[in-house]
Chain A
Amino acid sequence: MKPAAFTYMRPETISEAVAIRGEYGYDTAILAGGQSLIPMMNFRLARPEIVIDLGGTTDARGVIERGGGVAVAPMTRQRDLEVSDIAHQNNPLIRETLRHVAHAVVRNRGTVCGSIAHADASAEQPTLFVTIDGVATATSPRGSRTITGGELFSFHLTSTLEPDEIVTEVWFPGLASDEGYAFTEFARRHGDYALVGACATMRLDGDTVTSVRVGCSGVAPTPARSVAVEQLVGQRADQPSFTGIAAAIAEEVVESGDDPTASTAYRKHLVRELVVEALVTANARANERRAD
């Protein structure tokens, strides 16, 4: 199907975009990469009156290192962040996560800020954001505020942004130099939205886990960050510990009911398998990075 008619606006700066968004609020949609918005418009699931295209702005690209982490602007393409060596040195989990997002052709256009603002609980970037407590800056004519991690998401495809706000920056904290990391997911076809994904970081002292974070996609109305995984701190980093904690995490994070794509039981099974895989990989990488 073809999209419904709309008024197209192409501001030259982000400030201009914020002003338009402030004036028209709910009637607007932000067009950055368009890889999520335009499919919805083609299906007529989204019928904004006004589309604000950020593509013409001159002040909205790039990847910068700041405050121990990495920041991206509204038009920073996923591909730009993926290939950025600055970002990769600071936080290799970013490139690892982005490699799982759709296909290269989609990452060429799609933006990091856009994917996170789109708030799809099955998507990799919102899951990364929640797992490592990314910080989004939301700007409206009333000013700017920051929103951290899970506070940005409230329901399927629903962020906690006000109708007059635009995400003008996403900042990811860096990883410690000895921190292991992993992103893994299961999809029936490579590049599809994953049924379930798992994101993990881990630090060790000898064989003992000193810090660990786990997040999962595809299990709840928002990307899920595990609290139960804290029980792994102080434990030995080995297969029995990982298997045990993965079982607890599956019970903790899976909220989805049976649906045509997967049953609750299957999603829990995937969480158990993928969290173990992520912890094993993060463990191995922590050891590698300590050795460097």
Chain B
Amino acid sequence: MSVEPEQVVDVNIIINGTECATSVPSRMLLSDFIRHEAGLTGTHVGCEHGVCGCCTVMIDGVSARSCLAFAVQCDGSEIRTVEGLAAVDDTLNPLQQAFHECHALQCGFCTPGFLMAITEFLDRNQRADFSETEVREAISGNLCRCTGYTSIVDAVLLAAKRMYGKED
């Protein structure tokens, strides 16, 4: 009995501005490509069926579950991961800073997914005055087992005020 070799496809995926050109099996998930081919392990793998949100990244400017995309689908696409949020000198961006100050992470496993999802939420809704209910709806696609979410909600509210509030 012989096993057919699996199909391998050339891809070039641009992650946080850097091209990553290599050959991958068709079935390689984008999440695994990011972690194992590009070596960026900030993107985490939780459920691999799209419900936990740990793997959330940006694909061509919109948030997406990287466990629900094949690397081959993303040939030529621009991916942004959590590693692309902080400045080149590692200064935290306002959202990351708010997470830090509000203790919005404990084990940190869910955190990259939250940051990417919230980055999009704040970008699409550039307001300083969200209600708690609005923030809870916005984060409802990401699961956290450690914090109980309250500190995450606080961080989002704080980040929104800082990013979009009027200067005193």
Contact = CB atoms under 8 A, between A and B. Distances in A.
Interface stretch (A60-68, A102-110, A134-142): A102-110
A178 interface: no
Interface stretch (A2-10, A143-151, A259-267): A2-10
B137 interface: yes
B113 to A, nearest CB: 9
A7 B26 contact: yes
Interface in B37-55: 48-51, 53
Contacts of A51: 26, 70
Contacts of B65: 35, 105-106, 109
B70 A8 contact: yes
Contacts of A10: 72
A281 to B, nearest CB: 19
Q: How large is the interface on B (under 10, 10 to 19, 20 to 34, 35 or more residues)?
A: 20 to 34
Contacts of B135: none
Contacts of A6: 7, 26-27
Interface in A18-55: 31, 34-35, 38-39, 41-43, 51, 53, 55
Interface in A92-115: 102-106, 108-109
Given A34-B68, A38-B68, A39-B50, A108 B63 contact: yes
Given A42-B49, A109-B69, A5 B64 contact: no
A34 B51 CA distance: 14
B140 A7 contact: no
Contacts of A5: 6-7, 25-27
A38 B70 contact: yes
Interface in B71-105: 72-73
Interface string B11-55: 000000000000001110100100000000000000011110100
A35 B117 CA distance: 17
A117 to B, nearest CB: 17
A51 B50 CA distance: 19
A194 B25 CA distance: 35
Q: How large is the interface on A (under 10, 10 to 19, 20 to 34, 35 or more residues)?
A: 20 to 34
B111 interface: no
Given A8-B26, A190-B140, A79 B70 contact: no
A190 B26 CA distance: 33
A291 interface: no
Contacts of B48: 1-2, 39, 42
Contacts of A41: 27
B67 interface: yes
A191 B141 contact: yes
B163 interface: no
Contact of A105 (B27, B53, B73): B53
B146 interface: no
A108 B124 CA distance: 13
A106 B27 contact: no
A218 B53 CA distance: 24
B87 to A, nearest CB: 25
Interface of B: 6-7, 9, 25-27, 29, 32, 48-51, 53, 56, 59, 62-65, 67-70, 72-73, 117, 120-121, 137-138, 140-141
Given A39-B68, A104-B63, 13 more contacts: A2-B48, A3-B27, A6-B26, A6-B27, A8-B26, A8-B72, A34-B70, A38-B67, A55-B73, A105-B53, A105-B56, A105-B63, A106-B68
5 contacts: A5-B7, A6-B27, A8-B7, A8-B70, A106-B50
Interface of A: 1-8, 10, 31, 34-35, 38-39, 41-43, 51, 53, 55, 79, 102-106, 108-109, 189-192
